[in-house]
Amino acid sequence: MAIPLRKPKEIEKLKTASLAVAKTLDYLKNNVKAGMTLKEVDTMGDEFIVKLGARPSFKGLYGFPSAVCTSLNEVIIHGIPSDIVLKEGDILGLDIGSEIDGWYGDAAITMPIGKISKEDEDLIACSKDTLYYAISIIKEGMRFKELSSHIEKFIRNKGYVPLINFCGHGIGKKPHCEPEIPNYIGTSNIKAGPKIKNGMVFCLEPMICQKEQEPIILENNWDVVSKDGLRASHYEHTIAVINGKAVILSKLEE
């Protein structure tokens, strides 16, 4: 399947949807505190994104029950909001999708709850730093597999490993579409596969594990943890390739 090349007006539509996600994540980052339940966090995010004129696109997507993925501590991605109460020292992944006028946005952060350990600070920094490194090296003509290879090397050089079997993705008039963008290369030939072109829009989302790459899906059929059972982190942006470089769509205006 061909990867769509978006026109400037379409990229603006995607940016509008992505900015709703960025604003919601910023709101949650500044207001989520110890003592709140994960369901309360989800309600806050749901109500805020609706006030912005967006539809929370994760709600009902593939059967997911909530607006916000709340991935606590060892949960890497797809955490279902529950009655678990946040406490000082936790780390919380927040992943949000939006839809406005038929176009989608998607982004994620991992945030500290109060004061956290240096170990957890480094863990969060790895996912964030990996994401911004990947964005910085994107150029027209680079193959997606080459990008995946660079992402994996960056993660491993930090002393961590990327989660396998989950990946970044294209985005547009659907929340997920071609291409798939893993954070690892495996045995693939990095000189094969599609090239990055101007007009492509996709989501990069490093998912960082401490020791084991293999995922385990918990009994609720959503929460994903590492086989090692240790804490993990996740960051994501929606980006567009414009004039040969990556431009972040899911970022607040500075």
According to DSSP H, which parts of 32-106 are helical?
38-51
Q: In what order do the strands lie in the sheet with 75-77?
A: 75-77, 224-226, 215-217
| Tens digits of residue pLDDT in 179-228 | 999 999 976 788 889 999 999 999 999 999 999 999 999 999 999 999 99
Cα–Cα distance, 90 to 20 (Å, whole number): 26
Cα–Cα distance, 238 to 170 (Å, whole number): 9
| Tens digits of residue pLDDT in 50-62 | 999 999 999 999 9
Domains of the chain: 8-248 (3.90.230.10)
Band (253; pLDDT cuts 50, 70, 90): confident
Q: Does 112 sit behind a cis peptide bond, omega within 30 degrees of 0 on the bond before it?
A: no
Cα–Cα distance, 209 to 160 (Å, whole number): 6
Is pLDDT above 90 for 229?
A: yes
CA distances from 220 to 43, 46, 178, 246 (A): 20, 21, 27, 36
For residue 203, which of 136, 129, 126, 108 has the smallest C-alpha distance? 108
CB-neighbour burial class of residue 56 (10 A; exposed 0-12, middle 13-18, buried 19+): buried
Dihedral, CA atoms, 228, 190, 133, 208, nearest 10 degrees?
-10
| ∠ Cα 218 224 3 (to 5°) | 135
As a whole number, the mean pLDDT across the chain is 97
- φ, ψ for residue 160 (rounded to 5)? -120, 180
- Write out the H or E segment, with its range, that includes residue 9: helix 8-31
- φ, ψ for residue 95 (rounded to 5)? -125, 125
Cα–Cα distance, 57 to 103 (Å, whole number): 10
| Tens digits of residue pLDDT in 62-96 | 999 999 999 999 999 999 999 999 999 999 999 99
pTM, entire model: 0.96
- Both tokens assigned to 40: 């309360």
Is pLDDT above 70 for 1?
A: no
User: What one-character-per-residue DSSP string does 91-132 give?
Assistant: EEEEEEEEEETTEEEEEEEEEESSS--HHHHHHHHHHHHHHH
Contacts of 28 (CB under 8 A, 6+ apart): 41, 44, 45, 48, 68, 94, 111
For residue 45, which of 3, 92, 97 has the smallest C-alpha distance? 97
